[in-house]
Amino acid sequence: MVGALLAIILGLNWAAYDRYGSDMPNWDQWDAEGVHAIGPWFSGDHFVRNLFAAHNEHRVILTKAQNLALTLVNGQWDARLQSVVNALLHAGIAVGLWLLARRAIAPRLQPFAFAGLALLFGLPLSDQNLLSGFHSQQYWLIGLSLIAIALLPFSRPASRRWWAGLAAAILVLGSMGSGYLAATTVFGVVLWRALCRETSFRSAWPTLLVTGLITAFGEATRITVDYHASLVATNARDFVVTLLRNLEWPLHEQDWAGPFLWTPWLVLTLLTLVRSLRVRAGRPAPAAITWAIVALGGWAFGQVLATAYARGAGGAYPASRYAGTLIFGLGVNVLAALHLVWPRPAGPALATSPAAHVGAWRSALRITVVVLWALLLAAGLQWRLTYNLADPLPHAKQYYAGGEAHLRSYLVTGDAAQLSDPIPYITAEALVERLAVPGVRPLLPASVRPAVPLEPARAEGFTRNWVTPRTPAPRPGHGLAPDTPPLPARVTWGSFSTAGLAGIGEWRSQPIAPSAHAWLRFDIAGQLGEPGVSLELLDAASGKLLATVGPASGTGPWRAAYVRVPAQPFVIVAHDRDAHRWLAFSAPVEVATLSYLAVLVVRHALWLTVIGVLAAIAAFIRLARLHRSDAAPRMVGRDDDVPPAISGPARRRRTFLVVAVFFCVWCTKLAVIGRYGTDLPVWDQWAKEGELCYAPWFERHEFWAPLFLPHSEHRIAPTLALNLGLLRLGADQWDARVQCAVSAALHALIAAGLAAWALRRLPTGWALAVVGTIVLVTAPPIAWENVLLGFQSQFYFLIGFTLLALGGVLGAPAGSWRWCGGVAAAVVAGVSMGSGLLVTAPIALLAALRLRQPTNAARPRRLGRASNLATIATAVVLAAIGWWFRPQAPWHTPLHAHSFAEAAVYALRCLSWPLYGFPWLAPLLWLPWFVLATRRLISPFTREPRHGASVTADLVVAGGLWVLAQVAAVSFARGGGSSLPGIRYGDVFAVGVVLNAFALALLARSAAPDTRRASRFALTTTWSILVVAAVAVATRSTFQTELPQRAADHRDYVHNVRMFLRTDDQEAFAREPKLPFPHTDWLIRLLRNPTIRRIMPASVRAPIEVPGLRNDGSLAAVPTLATLWPDAARVVTAGQTWRSPALSADHGWWKIETAGDVGQSGTTFELVSARTGALLARIAPSKPAGAHWRAAYVRCPSEPAILVAHVATPARWVGFSEPVWVSPLSYRTWRLTAHAPLLAGASYILFAGALLLVAYQRRDGETTAPKSVA
């Protein structure tokens, strides 16, 4: 575990340094290291006195000694190397806290301590300590204080541990000015324990004596500087405000949060002091490990008090460099919180629950408070990480790049004018003085040291380039591609000529003497390493190849490449023999061996983190097995853990509840479709449906081939087949609203199916809770793209067929009809979306686990080896077929995640659905499933054969694995830039929330009796509150921002397409900012296709021409009316009657836009028979239209008919447009969505009633004997 924690923290810290750091010394390093360490060492000028000289209020002896030693061993003054070593110190502190956690916390809570410490110490929360090699002083202060406080108070005087603690207490005086506070803390703890008779004064006096002397010495030698007097808090208000702003870290501008974030330590301290006072009454004394946590927190709090006083002027926020102490303090609070919930017993026996030592309800209260505290801490960490990644770290990168360029230019030219901001010191004059210190210039790192002088012996086709940061723009880029900026203060040669890539040639240098350092660094641009492009080192005498400069790594136009320095004189030779490639390289710079190793370490650091995470997972699984107690709760989901059968009345009640779930979800989505949707196809529908499916169908009656054509990375055959079927059912009218309604029904069917499964497999109470969760996460339109776009039924086919595949294949023996149906469902899922066949991964994994499962004699076929092997083989074959035939979309390559970090961040955001912006929610939302999955995955390896897994548990675990596989696929394919996940993926992630509800129910059902009530209450309540709050926040945001904006976009889409279909004005159409398809030329081609025009929906469909209805200028009387079609509407005012010519009979419906007082008294707008004059229909909108257009629908006449409009009452008027034909299916869908709010309200009333009816089932006793699980 220690190695895993080290790997995770080091990997994260080094990876952040690789992205944002530099090897250039910065600010205080020029004084403390250059003037007071390197200079005196090489000049022999009072080195020891300079080593102990004060730096501001501190004596940073250990930092000076460390960095001087690294410089002397390395041969270069490299801040990157210093930071690499500093990260080791930083990780060592975390390891120290982890070792304490192993002694203080029960084994089952140790993973939470591990995760908390890994996040606190691994994430880049302090940019100054992370990027500055000088700030090892912070780590020496914390680390040595940790050793002193953990060892001195609890060790026998003169023992080895006591001497080690004393040495640390003395050494820490050389770290920072507040180093003596470690001895002060030890003195206070030992004195209190002696006064309370936890220990005797006879054994305590040596420790009291030495720590008292160290404290007195530290206070006597404390340094104050006049130039920092303005930073000191001068009044109580500034001190208190600064204190609160330190305690609230990592939050910002949340002063109330400070005391709460430190509450675990405060509570533990108070409890420990009270228990210590009761020792005289014969009560047991607090454990030494408890005192250690209290003492460490007290030391951290003392450091915060000192900072609040010394830097509290004006109530300032803490500087980033002080975050090291604050991180340590929060780490102590993590230990205190978990120690309060469930401490590690002192004896060999392990408690079976947190309630074993404080009682069930008190334990539940503690757990709930600690979870809320953890949520606040997670929110703070997320805010601080987001802020650092958005502001300080990118600015630091820009600062270092500018500082390197300016300092390098000065060192090459000797012109002090080159030292313009940014530079790595206060002023240019002072920096020049420090560069003149003996020994400094020869030791400068690679980023700023002058390059090895190069003189060309041959330069055919390569052009020399040289610029400085002060070269006026546009800077010359001789030999460089137009998109490659020149490299400041570095001589470069490039083969990109005025002819572009066509330039070829060879460049050869004069002989170069071997360097004192082991490596050379080249800055490379172009296509080095590709055929015809090379950069080599040859023996100057024989021309023998000594080394080849490999392809450069890194990002950006210029990338660094390293090569070992030959032992003999050599020449550099560059070749560009390809007219389609080019090469540019800089003069090489010497790099020391340790500096090169530091580059390699930080460049590949993320792999270290991956290894650490995997090692931690393996270690905790092993730990769980080692600490399994005979009294531990039984494993969830045994084969004999089956639900009871239910009687007929109870079954009808549950069926009624499932139906209510369906209508709740469906009607809610229909209401959203009716209010915010449109019948116009949007985005991908034009290309995939219109051009590649519908046009071939109507023109050539091609059906199967278009269905299976790739769409980006997917094949979406079920979606295309469904929409083509709806098109045919809708009398060849392409209506996206109809598609959306059917897609909503598919989603509602999935929700109803999950509800039915919950009611069948779970106890009634938990089943109702899971059903509520299903409605909660599926009904709101959080994934509104899938609700409002008819093309997105692909997601519902993917989810539905995946669940059917899991249930069929894992719930039945191989070869049965159910198993075959599951395989068929997996195949359909594979052609539903590109990631459909990922369902084979959990199927194969669960079947493999069942190979180790003991065979159940009652059901040998299910658990039999042959059945599971057949399932594994089938899954592997399907996966291979899917991989072989997977579509490729090269144009989506820029969307791919460019690094593991980007993919990981994107994955966390996916798992935090419905709040993508809060990735810290992911572990909390998925905690129940991870616990269940861990227990299921290790169950085949336990010694108790009764710890088998039921079909229900297997399906929950498999479903969660499938969701995680989808998250991984999406994170890789769309994780570029770590942007927020697409709204459309939300319905897939929602399945994960539902499965976590299932897992929570299964875990609660399997809890041991002593933990069932309290732990179940705490866990369930906290998780439920979190889910409800997250869904509420996401739903509110959806209704306030996304949906209104989408409705406005739909109106613009309809208007712009309608105008183009009428005018065919390509230029005006291309100028419109909002179009329903991003490729304007492609959309114009589709809209001009007669086949596509013939199937257009009602909103943009060409109206039926009515002679005499064309606008005669009457619309000018109502300025607020915007004509839907030019010259296609008119207004009839008081005393006027308008009659149309006879209109042909038709089937279906007409949609007529109306305005004014249509349908009010004194006005008539009717459809009458052209032959008999009989009234066929009155035309009126559902609500008065007023001065705006409102649609009215009328059934198409079955005989020739005429439209008649008459206004008899003064001051009334009517407006109407030409009718547009609407298919019966489209009209019924419109009616359904128009009345959906009422239907949704009724559905929720029925749902509430059904819940009550099923809940009363428990009182009615309508259960029968259990039946076997099929």
Q: Which of the four pLDDT bands, split at 50, 70 and 90, describes residue 233?
A: confident
Q: Which of the four pLDDT bands, split at 50, 70 and 90, describes residue 862?
A: very low
Whether residue 1038 is contained in a domain is answered as yes
> Residue 520 to residues 442, 570, 591: CA-CA distances in angstroms?
16, 12, 6
Same domain, 752 and 697: yes
Whether residue 46 is contained in a domain is answered as no
CATH number at residue 542: 2.60.120.940
The terminus-to-terminus CA distance of the chain in angstroms comes to: 42
Q: What is the pLDDT of residue 182?
A: 92
Q: Which of the four pLDDT bands, split at 50, 70 and 90, describes residue 191?
A: very high
Query: 861 and 948 in contact (C-beta within 8 Å)?
Result: no
Q: What is the pLDDT of residue 1270?
A: 29
Please give the share of the chain, as a percent, with pLDDT higher than 70. Answer: 88
Q: What is the pLDDT of residue 908?
A: 87
Average pLDDT over residues 1039-1061: 87
For the ranges 124-138, 655-669, 854-868, the lowest mean pLDDT is seen at 854-868
Q: Provide the CA 419 distance to its chain's centre, in angstroms.
A: 41
Q: What is the pLDDT of residue 501?
A: 64
CA distance 244 to 456: 63
Question: Which tokens in the block code for residue 606?
Answer: 């993320």
The pLDDT tens digits of the residues spanning 633-654 come to: 333 333 334 455 566 677 788 8
For residue 1116, pLDDT beyond 80: no
| Domains in the chain, number | 5
Average pLDDT over residues 895-923: 83
Same domain, 374 and 421: no
Average pLDDT over residues 729-741: 87
The pLDDT tens digits of the residues spanning 291-342 come to: 999 999 999 999 999 998 888 888 888 888 888 899 999 999 999 998 888 7
For residue 1262, pLDDT beyond 50: no
For the ranges 357-371, 598-612, 735-749, the lowest mean pLDDT is seen at 357-371
The answer for 656, left when phi > 0, alpha when psi is -120 to 50, beta otherwise, is alpha
In terms of pLDDT, which residue wins out, 775 or 1136?
775
The pLDDT tens digits of the residues spanning 130-157 come to: 888 888 999 999 999 999 999 999 888 8
Same domain, 437 and 476: no
Query: 711 and 689 in contact (C-beta within 8 Å)?
Result: no
The pLDDT tens digits of the residues spanning 333-369 come to: 999 998 888 787 654 444 444 444 455 456 556 666 7
For residue 279, pLDDT beyond 80: yes
Query: Cβ contacts of residue 910 below 8 Å, gap of 6+?
Result: 916, 922, 967, 970, 971, 981, 985, 989
CA distance 341 to 353: 10
Average pLDDT over residues 756-782: 89
Whether residue 1 is contained in a domain is answered as no
Same domain, 663 and 795: yes
Q: Which of the four pLDDT bands, split at 50, 70 and 90, describes residue 858?
A: very low
Query: Cβ contacts of residue 609 below 8 Å, gap of 6+?
Result: 7, 8, 11, 12, 15, 122
Whether residue 138 is contained in a domain is answered as no
The pLDDT tens digits of the residues spanning 1152-1194 come to: 888 888 878 888 888 888 888 888 888 888 776 667 778 888 8
Please give the share of the chain, as a percent, with pLDDT higher than 90. Answer: 22
For residue 1208, pLDDT beyond 70: yes
Q: What is the pLDDT of residue 171?
A: 93
Same domain, 769 and 656: yes
**CB-based burial label for 818 (10 Å; 0-12, 13-18, 19+):** middle
For residue 491, pLDDT beyond 70: yes
Average pLDDT over residues 585-596: 92
Average pLDDT over residues 668-681: 90
Whether residue 1100 is contained in a domain is answered as no
Same domain, 916 and 971: yes
* Gyration radius (Cα) of the chain, Å: 37
For the ranges 355-364, 475-484, 924-933, the lowest mean pLDDT is seen at 355-364
Task: Choose one of 995, 1021, 1044: the last residue of a domain.
Answer: 1044
Same domain, 528 and 437: no
For residue 811, pLDDT beyond 70: yes
Same domain, 836 and 949: yes
The pLDDT tens digits of the residues spanning 752-765 come to: 999 998 888 888 88
Q: Which of the four pLDDT bands, split at 50, 70 and 90, describes residue 727?
A: confident
Selection from 79-83, 131-135, 832-836 with the highest mean pLDDT: 79-83
Question: Which tokens in the block code for residue 908?
Answer: 């966390």
Task: Choose one of 1016, 1044, 1072: the last residue of a domain.
Answer: 1044
For the ranges 392-401, 520-529, 891-900, 1114-1123, the lowest mean pLDDT is seen at 1114-1123
Classify residue 479 by its DSSP letter.
Answer: B
Average pLDDT over residues 857-877: 62
CA distance 895 to 874: 33
Q: What is the pLDDT of residue 627?
A: 55
For the ranges 337-341, 370-374, 482-486, the lowest mean pLDDT is seen at 370-374
Query: 1085 and 1069 in contact (C-beta within 8 Å)?
Result: no
Q: Which of the four pLDDT bands, split at 50, 70 and 90, describes residue 1016?
A: low
Average pLDDT over residues 1086-1108: 83
Same domain, 245 and 284: yes
To the nearest whole number, what is the mean pLDDT of the chain? 83
Same domain, 372 and 237: yes
Whether residue 597 is contained in a domain is answered as no
In terms of pLDDT, which residue wins out, 1070 or 571?
571
Query: What is the sign of the dihedral through the CA atoms of 459, 463, 469 and 471?
Result: positive
Whether residue 1253 is contained in a domain is answered as no
CATH number at residue 1150: 2.60.120
Q: What is the pLDDT of residue 728?
A: 84
Q: What is the pLDDT of residue 942?
A: 60
For the whole model, what pTM was predicted? 0.62
Residue 1195 sits in which domain range? 1114-1218
For the ranges 54-68, 580-594, 699-713, the lowest mean pLDDT is seen at 699-713
Q: Which of the four pLDDT bands, split at 50, 70 and 90, describes residue 855?
A: very low
Helix or strand (DSSP H, E) at 506? strand 505-509
Same domain, 915 and 776: yes
Query: Cβ contacts of residue 344 below 8 Å, gap of 6+?
Result: 102, 103, 104, 105, 106, 107, 289
In terms of pLDDT, which residue wins out, 445 or 1257?
445
Q: What is the pLDDT of residue 750?
A: 93
Q: Which one, of 205, 97, 195, lies nearest residue 156 by Cα?
A: 205
Q: What is the pLDDT of residue 995?
A: 92
In terms of pLDDT, which residue wins out, 254 or 365?
254
Query: Cβ contacts of residue 1116 below 8 Å, gap of 6+?
Result: none
Q: What is the pLDDT of residue 864?
A: 58
Classify residue 475 by its DSSP letter.
Answer: P
Same domain, 373 and 417: no
Question: Which tokens in the block code for residue 584?
Answer: 């540019």
Query: Cβ contacts of residue 633 below 8 Å, gap of 6+?
Result: 352, 1006, 1007, 1008, 1011
Whether residue 1096 is contained in a domain is answered as no
For the ranges 159-168, 302-311, 338-347, 702-711, the lowest mean pLDDT is seen at 702-711
